Amino acid sequence: MSSPVLAPADYPMAVTDAVVEYDYEELPATTTLGMHLIAGAAAGIMEHSVMYPVDITRMQVAGPAAAYSGVTQALRVIWTTEGIRTLWRGVASVALGAGPAHAVYFATYEQTKKLLGRAGQTGAVAAGAAGGAATVVSDALMNPFDVVKQRMQLAGAAHRTIFGCARAVLRAEGLRAFYVSYPTTLVMSMPFQSIQFGCYDLFRRTLNPSNAYSPAVHVAAGGLAGAVAALLTTPIDCCKTLLQTRGASADPAVRAAGSMAQAARVIFRTQGLRGFLRGARPRVIANFPATAISWTTYEYFKWAIQRREGQHKA
C-alpha cells in the first residue's frame, strides 16, 4: 500500500480574517522551542538506534582491525565470532547523545532560519546558514558521545558501560580526547549537512511539486540526500575516525596524529589513496535509510504539530 499524500485541503489550517493559509513547511509562530526539541530528539534517537548495527567504525580504523571486505562480511564475522549483542555495543552512548544533539540541531536550525527570515534572508542561503549554525552546536554536544561509542565498539568487553568507558578515556588521555576530533568533525559535518539539506530540498521539490505531506517523498528525498552527502564526505570521515580512535592504536604515528592533515598523511602512508574511501559503500548504505528515517520522523512531527495547532485554532 502506498503512503498517503495529503492534499492542501487535508492540511491543518491557520485561519485569519477571512483568509485560510496552508503552509506545511513552516511551523506556526506559536510553536514552542520544546516542540522543536521533542521532534528533533525523536528523529535522532530513531535514526541512530535503528541503524546502529551497520556503523562502519571498524572498517575505517587503520591497522589490523581494518580487515573487513564489506559491510555484509563485517556483520557476518562480528555476529559469528563475537555474538549478535556485539553489533549493539555502545548503542546506549549514541542514544544518550543523539537525542539531545538532534533536538538541539533541529531547534537551532528552525530558530536560526526564523531569525534570518525576519532579517529578510530566505531560501537556500538562509537554510544553509541555519544548518551550519545547527551543526556547530549539535556536534559540540555529540562529539564526546561519539568518541565513547567508537571506543566501546573497538575495545570489546574491556568497557562494559558508557560511563566506565568515559572514565577510562578521561584518566588515560584527558578531556582533550573527547574533542580532539571536533574540528575535523565540523569540517566533515559542514559540507555533509550543506549537501544533505541542498539535495533534500531539491529532491523533495522535484518529487513533490505540490509540497503536500507525503511520507514516501520524505523517505526517498531523505535517503538520496544522505547517500550523496555520505559518499562525498567519506575521505574526511576516515580522518575523523582515525583521530577519535588514535588512543586505542599501537601505531605511534596514529597516536601522534592531532589534526586532519596529520591523519590524512597517516592514512595515505599506510593505505594509499584507497584508504580515503574505506567504508564508502557501507557509509552510503547506512546513510540512505538513516537520513530517510531522520527526515521522515522529523517531517511527521512537523505535520503533527501543525495539525495540532490548526485544531486548536479551529
> Is the residue at 23 inside a domain?
no
The string of DSSP codes covering 265-281 is HHHHHHH-GGGGGTTHH
The string of DSSP codes covering 14-41 is EEETTEEE--SSSPPTT--HHHHHHHHH
According to the model, what pLDDT value does residue 181 have? 81
Contact status, residue 153 vs residue 56, Cβ threshold 8 Å: no
Write the pLDDT tens digit of every residue in 222-233: 999 999 999 999
> Is the residue at 284 inside a domain?
yes
In this prediction, residues 30-59 reach a mean pLDDT of 66
Write the pLDDT tens digit of every residue in 175-204: 998 998 888 778 878 888 878 877 887 898
> Is the residue at 13 inside a domain?
no
> Is the residue at 4 inside a domain?
no
According to the model, what pLDDT value does residue 27 have? 53
Q: What is the CATH number of the domain that holds 62?
A: 1.50.40.10
> Is the residue at 267 inside a domain?
yes
Say which residue the cell 503533527 belongs to.
304
Contact status, residue 106 vs residue 40, Cβ threshold 8 Å: yes
Q: Which domain does 290 fall in, by range?
A: 32-307
Separation between Cα atoms, residue 104 and residue 138, nearest integer Å:
6
Is the pLDDT at 268 greater than 90? The verdict is yes
pLDDT band at 74 (very low <50, low <70, confident <90, very high): low
Q: What is the dihedral of CA 216, 94, 151, 173, to 10 degrees?
A: 130
User: Does residue 264 come out as left (phi exceeding 0), alpha (psi in the -120 to 50 range) or beta?
Assistant: alpha
> Is the residue at 1 inside a domain?
no
Name the percent of the chain in helix, strand, coil, to the closest 5. Answer: 75, 5, 20
Domain count for the chain, please give it: 1
Separation between Cα atoms, residue 301 and residue 37, nearest integer Å:
11
> Is the residue at 49 inside a domain?
yes
**Cβ-proximal residues to 109 (8 Å cutoff; 6+ apart), any chain:** 130, 131, 133, 134
> Is the residue at 3 inside a domain?
no
